Amino acid sequence: MDILKRLQEHSRNIPEQPAIVSETEQLNYRQLEEYSNALASYLTASYGKSKEPIVVYGHKNVFMIVCFLACVKAGRGYCPIDVSVPAERAAAIINEARPPVVLMPENAKFMAGESEPINLSQIQAICREGDAGPDADAWVKDGDTFYIIFTSGSSGTPKGVKISLGCLNHFLDWAVELGIPSKEKRGSTFLNQAPFSFDLSVMDLYTCLACGGTLWVMTKEMQGDYQRMFRLMEDSDVKVWVSTPSFADVCLADQKFAQKLLPSLRAFLFCGETLTNRTALQLQERFPKAVIVNTYGPTESTVALTEVKVDRELAVNENPLPVGRVKRGSAIEIWDEQGKAMPDGESGEIILMGDTVSTGYHQREELSRKSFFMCRRNDEVLRGYRTGDSGYLKNGMLYYLGRLDRQIKLHGYRIELDDIEQNLLRLDRVKNAVVTANERDEKITGLTAHIVYDRKVEDGRQEARRMKEALKEFLPEYMIPKRIRFLDSIPMTANGKVDRKMLQGAVR
């Protein structure tokens, strides 16, 4: 598959088919093509031919997609930043990405730093001027970066995962067949729930565009008001649902969330965190016409690379559910600590290899060397990635057991606990900080920060409120611990390490 060529075909064959639909606006395939071409021409004329990435800052405006495509047609990767990322953190990302320009297809307040900002009205004016656009020779090539997605990093600043056009195309060859065959997806409506700065959104955005479908985007605001969200969903005609299991759980809490609300729905595609048997069973009951697919993978291997259809038999008999079999073009091995491949059924680190593995972290050579490698399998040289996930294989089926480090998933968001701790230490008076995850029924439900101050705390509640407010400058909402405890000192184990178990136990 060549996604950019495919879009060119759609603009000729199905020009009037809506490609992106939001509550207030929509773009069809002809507009998507013409606008992205015009903007690509402008970018090349103004900033020259270079592979430096371009930052696209915004939320769910339909012009976000125009900007993404314009960047890659101008031969540059794009780096999406959602408006929910605080200014400090966005500035850190921009500092790493060093874009010549920041496209802002949303009327958001934002400091572009040294880079030149282009706002929505400027973007729209450029798009409507209608230049023919650079020819295909100028577009990003197979090995070039298509997008860079920044994800939580243990050092306290996010790290950018580079995904090439080749990785995306290989992912799409597989993803278009997930759940229901690609020909049944043609012209269908896909749900977009995740912000475009999370790689889960790649599963809905590009799979939908590859199938000539309509992407139905849901803003954060819509997701914050369920009654309104369900009312809008009723008219959406969504056939392919892509979200984290957490979001499906939130919807399931309302009895209205059933086939009657979404009569066209045929497939649930999940990724990013554990799909529980309970969620799968509830969905099967409420949506008898839909298949449920569990997929697994990190941003570093282009969204996902394993799949399993979760039917009733599997949901009743296998607990926890498997995460699937690996796609063609990829391979999975389980390694012990010495890097030795483990036999079937034995657990260790999940190692991914193949045609969707990232080319590394942007501007982070050392970090990239730790996690990425090249290897030879069956006379083929493959890129490989050490996931830090623990799991095992059984007859080709992958089972996920959890993390080997301090990365967690909270409501579908990937978070390094070290990242939060590093940012807590930036606040005044904080001498020491440890963050632990609160768990209920083996699911992470929230975060607690254990803090040592440089002086006695008079009013813990007030201080906690003050700290949360101060943290908003550095961290997105979902990374701010709900609970903050003040301690005189952090408990240590006999061998001098932070006693996280004890801290975690103290919260229950």
Could you tell me the smallest distance in angstroms from the CB atom of residue 447 to ligand AMP?
16
By C-beta, is 444 or 502 nearer to ligand AMP?
A: 444
Could you tell me the smallest distance in angstroms from the CB atom of residue 298 to ligand AMP?
4
Could you tell me the smallest distance in angstroms from the CB atom of residue 408 to ligand AMP?
9
Provide the H-helix boundaries in 325-447.
365-371, 417-424
By C-beta, is 106 or 199 nearer to ligand AMP?
A: 199
* 319/269 Cα distance (integer angstroms): 19
Handedness of CA 266, 328, 171, 416 (dihedral sign): positive
Going by their DSSP bridges, the two strands 238-243 and 145-151 should be labelled as unpaired
Which residues are registered as beta bridge partners of 17? none
Residue 505 CB burial class (10 angstroms; 0-12, 13-18, ≥19): exposed
Could you tell me the smallest distance in angstroms from the CB atom of residue 324 to ligand AMP?
8
Going by their DSSP bridges, the two strands 443-453 and 18-21 should be labelled as unpaired
By C-beta, is 52 or 177 nearer to ligand AMP?
A: 177
Could you tell me the smallest distance in angstroms from the CB atom of residue 149 to ligand AMP?
8
The tokens describing 473, both together, are 């400058």
By C-beta, is 134 or 354 nearer to ligand AMP?
A: 354
Specify whether the CB–CB gap between 79 and 94 falls below 8 A. no
By C-beta, is 200 or 467 nearer to ligand AMP?
A: 200
By C-beta, is 22 or 197 nearer to ligand AMP?
A: 197
**Residue in the structure block whose two tokens are 């990374």:** 479
Helices (H) and strands (E) in the chain, counts: 17, 26
Specify whether the CB–CB gap between 150 and 197 falls below 8 A. yes
Could you tell me the smallest distance in angstroms from the CB atom of residue 27 to ligand AMP?
27
* 268/287 Cα distance (integer angstroms): 10
By C-beta, is 53 or 298 nearer to ligand AMP?
A: 298
By C-beta, is 139 or 400 nearer to ligand AMP?
A: 400
Cis before 288? omega within 30: no
Could you tell me the smallest distance in angstroms from the CB atom of residue 77 to ligand AMP?
18
Residue 118 CB burial class (10 angstroms; 0-12, 13-18, ≥19): buried
Neighbours of 344 (CB within 10 A): 11
Going by their DSSP bridges, the two strands 306-309 and 407-410 should be labelled as unpaired
Could you tell me the smallest distance in angstroms from the CB atom of residue 384 to ligand AMP?
15
* 328/170 Cα distance (integer angstroms): 9
The tokens describing 206, both together, are 């590009």
Could you tell me the smallest distance in angstroms from the CB atom of residue 414 to ligand AMP?
4
For residue 180, give the DSSP letter: S
By C-beta, is 330 or 387 nearer to ligand AMP?
A: 387
User: Which of 297, 347, 359 lies closest to 325, judged by CA?
Assistant: 297
Specify whether the CB–CB gap between 433 and 452 falls below 8 A. yes
By C-beta, is 30 or 443 nearer to ligand AMP?
A: 443
The tokens describing 364, both together, are 């982070």
By C-beta, is 188 or 244 nearer to ligand AMP?
A: 244
Please give the residue ranges that form the binding site for ligand AMP (CB under 6 A): 151, 199, 271-274, 294, 296, 298-299, 323, 387, 389, 400, 403, 409, 414
The tokens describing 483, both together, are 């609970």
Could you tell me the smallest distance in angstroms from the CB atom of residue 477 to ligand AMP?
17
Could you tell me the smallest distance in angstroms from the CB atom of residue 400 to ligand AMP?
4
